[in-house]
Amino acid sequence: MAKFLVFMVLVSMSCVISVKHERKVINIAVFLDADEQNEIAILALSSIIRTVYSRTNYLLRPLIHRMHKYEVFKTGQLACSLLEQGVSAIFGPESPEINDIVQSISMSLQIPQFQTFWNSRLKTLYDHQGYNGNEIYTFNLHPSPTNLAKALATLVRENDWKNYIVIYENDEGLLRLQEALKRRNTQEPAIIFKKLGDRENYRSMLKEIKHTGMLHFILDCETENILEVLKEANEQKLLTEFHSYILTSLDAHTLNWFELKGVSSNITAFRLVDPSSNIVKEAASVWTLVMKYSEDYLHPYWNASEDIDLFNNKHFSEITSFNIRTKTALFYDAVNLFFNTFAEMEKKELLIIKPLSCQASEKSSHGTKLSQALKKVHSEVGLLSGPIKGFDSYGYRKNFQLKIVELDEKRFRTIGTWTPQKADKIDFTVTVEDRDTETKRKIQQMTFRVVSRVGAPYFIRKEDPPGRILKGNDRYEGYSIDLMKEICKPNNLNCSFTFEPVSDGMYGNYDPNTKKWNGLIKDLIEFRAELAVCDLTITYERKTAVDFTVPFMTLGVSILYSKAVKEPPELLSFSHPLSLDVWLYMFTAYLLISITIFLVARLNPNDWENPHPCNPNPETLENIWSIRNCCWLTLGSFMAQGCDILPKGISTRLVAAMWWFFVLIMIACYTANMTAFLTMERMGPTIESAEDLAAQNKIKYGCVKGGSTASFFKDTNFSTYHRMWVQMESAEPSVFETSNKDGVKRVLTSKRKYAFLMESSNIEYEMERNCDLIQVGNNLDSKGYGIAMRTNAPYRKSFNEAILKMQEMGVLVRLKDKWWKEMHGGGQCTKDKHSEDATATELGLDHVGGVFVVLAVGVCLAMLIAICEFLWNVRKVTVTEKVAPKEAFMRELHFALNIWARKKAVLNSASRSPSALPAERLSNKSR
């Protein structure tokens, strides 16, 4: 429909040509660059001329000249010759190199000039000439350098770029970054500047950039060179999803981005002209029709210079809104703005345009009036670059709106807007939720390359089954594999992955000499993988090179030590609390005290007693303290059992009291020492904390060389840990090991002379499989294992959410229980641990077996003595009663086995035997 209307307008315009009435001719000088956009600019000018001709009584006559940017002298001569024809305004030139002379002529003769390019010298020129800001004759429709610099600085800040590389083509690119540089903190990393140079130098320059490891770039170059630079960057693998670019060109959206394949980087640019707006689309349609029918309707009012051939070199088969450059749109707006302002002023006052000479001092009569009107102009309709609401004191456009656009599947989309009125803020149209949704959609289409370090239980190489070779992820198993499977489930990220082991087997450490990383970190930096999943500790140094997810496992450095080897208790272990000398001295004291009591009792008259208490006047006295009774008294008190006879004399009681005091102390010492002996026997390690390790030098201790644990002790400010690090470094032989496996082996073989410092999670794993290992003390710090990825990876937030979700659902606990307590021999020490805890206060038979042996030996000895006494009694019966030994033996044995007999007759005659006496007479007999 739009094309049909345009065509009808052209037909009607052709009919107007024959109408005879007087028109006012307005000459305008037009300087265009010698490029393909020149054709579109002329077509745009043609459409304006036709519209003016058909709707007003004016005739715009363009005096067009195509200029090269180095033709400075020719441009000056040409400008002066055009002014002699009577020019109302000058448009262009579009190149800064030849603009200064035209701008100087414009200001001298007070002819309005319209500029459409980025001009940083406009303010400098006015200040140099002592301009007071009241009258301006140069109007630049392009956003001012200061405003563009502010917009760029705001975008860099919103993207949270701490460090980046500026790739610039000429020195004007540095001016565009002036605001971004001013607002940087002096403590932030320095910015790297790289100049493009010739196209032949692109490759070498980008190789240097690649070695820096930087991820953020600002590219400032001509629009025509953007794709060439990015194509070379793509070959150098600088266009991955981890890299981000900001393009300073306002025409980046006009390029054919389908030429750039395999790009996943974030590419952001600014745009002044919105190709999706209706007014731009309609203008493109009109210009296309003008191009098709130009030879038929341009005559007779087109009076371009004879050296311009508009129709021999058509670069465009069709003009679309996406191939209209900013300078062309601004040129179209400048002509429209000039004519509308000129026509409005002529309604109030006739403007006289007269020829001028560069050599004369005469100035234009219309220039000042027209400039004053243009300075305050408010035009909102018909402009491709948006409304124009006046110009500032240096001729820069006041009002405009920059679109922040982002490359999305070969097309740019608007993600935000920036205006000078809100210079420190970008109004984003793409929300955080939208970003997350897009990222998750991209993740579902990705196959992550995951690098890991071989080591149980995180990443284990499986053995190939008979007759089959495992491939891909089937070659490996472990906690890391299961963790990625859970993350990539359909209810989480719904992605896929492939695992590969790290080439050098290292976690990732920075070498200050070579200034390079190794291990997992190196593979990430050099784009060999997108993720690193294993027992990789999150450290500050590593976070300067890569990003980490939230920890999927929390742990800390702790001490691995071997359990005390319990020797089998000796049979007489109950005697260990006292030494052999003490036992001998006690036995000697026992004999001496017994003899002393015997002697003292014989000397003390109080211990001689009447044997017959019923006889008040006995003829003899009796002393009961024989050697046997004395030994029984001392033995009874030693056993804490007492005795049925006690001394009566003061001296004998004093001796007995001293013996009891001695026995009291010895029994108390024995009991206390026995308790300590049993306690010491149950005690495991001789160290209980890191302080204990640091305070002694008998037990050596170390860690994995170059690992996160070594970094913890090396960089700590805590005095105890720093002292431990000094001791580890100076120890001979070296206490450092190349892996946790070697450290565990050394702990087991060192006979409790070596302790190994490692992560508590690995200690728990080893303790589940080797019951001779223990963890000593609490964790020395708190850290976590995280999934490492390239800095600013877009999928980091999605992985964080998946890990937190798994943590809340208990999936991480279940995975740890599986690989720590169930798989590959786990859980072996669980029963032993519980059994040890339950019997911590009990004594085994081995500890008290000697007591039973003593009891058995004493009983056997008592039985042996009883047998001897029985045989001695049999002999006595044989002699007394004059019977055969066998008969006496059988008779006495029969009586001894008769457990119901409670009394026994006295042997006083040979004719009578105990067995022959009646029971009623036995009670009257006494021995």
What phi and psi, each to the nearest 5 degrees, are found at residue 506?
-105, 155
CA distance 124 to 133: 13
- Specify the higher pLDDT residue, 86 or 906: 86
Max mean pLDDT among 170-184, 475-489, 556-570, 888-902 falls in 475-489
Under DSSP, the state recorded for 703 is -
What number of helices (H) and strands (E) belong to the chain? 32, 32
Residue whose entry in the numeric block shows the structure tokens 């990003």? 547
* Distance from chain centroid for Cα 116: 48
Residue 927 lies in a domain: no
Q: Which pLDDT score is estimated for 524?
A: 92
pLDDT band at 229 (very low <50, low <70, confident <90, very high): very high
Q: Exposed e or buried b for every residue in 665-693, given b needs 16+ CB within 10 A? A: ebeeebeeebeeebeeeeeebebeebebb
The domain boundary residue, chosen from 399, 414, 449:
399
Residue 116 lies in a domain: yes
The domain boundary residue, chosen from 752, 781, 810:
781
Contacts of 217 (CB under 8 A, 6+ apart): 164, 165, 166, 167, 209, 238, 243, 244, 245, 246
> Does the pLDDT at position 922 exceed 60?
no
Q: Which residues are annotated as a binding site for L-glutamate?
A: 537, 542, 708-709, 759
- The tokens for 183 are 């607002």
Q: Residue 218's beta-bridge partner residues? A: 166, 246
DSSP assignment of 738-775, as one string?
SSHHHHHHHHHHTTSSEEEEEEHHHHHHHHTT-TTEEE
The alpha carbons of the chain give a radius of gyration, in whole angstroms, of 54
| Helical pair 2-16 and 278-292, crossing angle rounded to 10 deg | 50
Domain that holds residue 879: 857-922
pLDDT band at 1 (very low <50, low <70, confident <90, very high): very low
- What CATH number does the domain containing 335 carry? 3.40.50.2300
Q: Residue 448's beta-bridge partner residues? A: 497
Question: Residues 738, 631: one domain?
Answer: no
Q: Which pLDDT score is estimated for 9?
A: 44
Question: Residues 138, 11: one domain?
Answer: yes
Q: Which pLDDT score is estimated for 311?
A: 43
Question: Residues 340, 224: one domain?
Answer: no
Q: Is 66 exposed, middle or buried (0-12, 13-18, 19+ CB in 10 A)?
A: middle
pLDDT band at 672 (very low <50, low <70, confident <90, very high): confident
CA distance 424 to 731: 58
For the chain, what percent of residues have pLDDT higher than 70?
84
- The identity of residue 534, as a single letter, is C
- pLDDT tens, position by position, 296-311: 545 444 544 443 444 4
Mean predicted lDDT score pLDDT of the chain: 82
CA distance 379 to 391: 12
Question: Residues 319, 189: one domain?
Answer: no
CA distance 152 to 177: 7
For the chain, what percent of residues have pLDDT higher than 90?
30
DSSP three-state, residue 540: helix
Q: Which pLDDT score is estimated for 644?
A: 78
Separation of first and last alpha carbons in the chain:
151
Pairing between strand 460-461 and 496-501? unpaired
Residue 180 lies in a domain: yes
Q: Are 760 and 555 in contact (CB under 8 A)?
A: yes
Question: Residues 286, 205: one domain?
Answer: no
- The tokens for 114 are 């319209």
Question: Residues 131, 153: one domain?
Answer: no
Question: Residues 97, 52: one domain?
Answer: yes
Q: Is 577 exposed, middle or buried (0-12, 13-18, 19+ CB in 10 A)?
A: middle
Residue whose entry in the numeric block shows the structure tokens 């993740």? 443
CA distance 532 to 785: 11
Question: Residues 237, 104: one domain?
Answer: no
- The tokens for 173 are 């690119």
Residue whose entry in the numeric block shows the structure tokens 């029971």? 919
| Helical pair 885-897 and 845-881, crossing angle rounded to 10 deg | 130
Residue 851 lies in a domain: no
CA distance 496 to 433: 23
- Specify the higher pLDDT residue, 653 or 336: 336
- Strand runs labelled E in 183-262: 192-195, 216-220, 244-247
> Does the pLDDT at position 14 exceed 60?
no
Question: Residues 25, 99: one domain?
Answer: yes
Q: Is 517 exposed, middle or buried (0-12, 13-18, 19+ CB in 10 A)?
A: buried
> Does the pLDDT at position 857 exceed 80?
no
Residue 536 lies in a domain: yes
Q: Which pLDDT score is estimated for 329?
A: 93
Q: What share of the chain is helix, strand, coil (3-state, %, to 5)?
A: 45, 15, 40
CA distance 747 to 646: 62
pLDDT band at 908 (very low <50, low <70, confident <90, very high): low
Model pTM score? 0.68
- What CATH number does the domain containing 588 carry? 1.10.287.70
What phi and psi, each to the nearest 5 degrees, are found at residue 189?
-60, 150
CA distance 138 to 395: 6
> Does the pLDDT at position 887 exceed 60?
yes
Question: Residues 265, 298: one domain?
Answer: no
What phi and psi, each to the nearest 5 degrees, are found at residue 312?
-85, -20
Residue 844 lies in a domain: no
CA distance 776 to 686: 10
CA distance 200 to 558: 57
* Distance from chain centroid for Cα 178: 34
- What CATH number does the domain containing 699 carry? 3.40.190.10
- pLDDT tens, position by position, 315-358: 556 788 888 899 999 999 999 999 999 999 988 888 888 898 88
Closest CA to 109 of 76, 80, 140: 80
Residue 846 lies in a domain: no
- The stretch 830-836 carries a mean pLDDT of 52
pLDDT band at 841 (very low <50, low <70, confident <90, very high): very low
Within 13 Å of residue 319, how many CA atoms lie on the same side as its CB? 28
- pLDDT tens, position by position, 86-132: 899 999 887 877 888 888 888 889 899 999 988 887 777 766 665 65
Question: Residues 821, 674: one domain?
Answer: no
Question: Residues 423, 448: one domain?
Answer: no
What phi and psi, each to the nearest 5 degrees, are found at residue 666?
-65, -40
> Does the pLDDT at position 852 exceed 70?
no
The total number of structural domains that make up the chain: 6
Q: Residue 903's beta-bridge partner residues? A: none
Residue 73 lies in a domain: yes
- Specify the higher pLDDT residue, 17 or 445: 445
Q: Which pLDDT score is estimated for 187?
A: 65
pLDDT band at 517 (very low <50, low <70, confident <90, very high): very high
* CA dist 731 → 561, 692, 745 (Å): 18, 17, 19
- The identity of residue 70, as a single letter, is Y
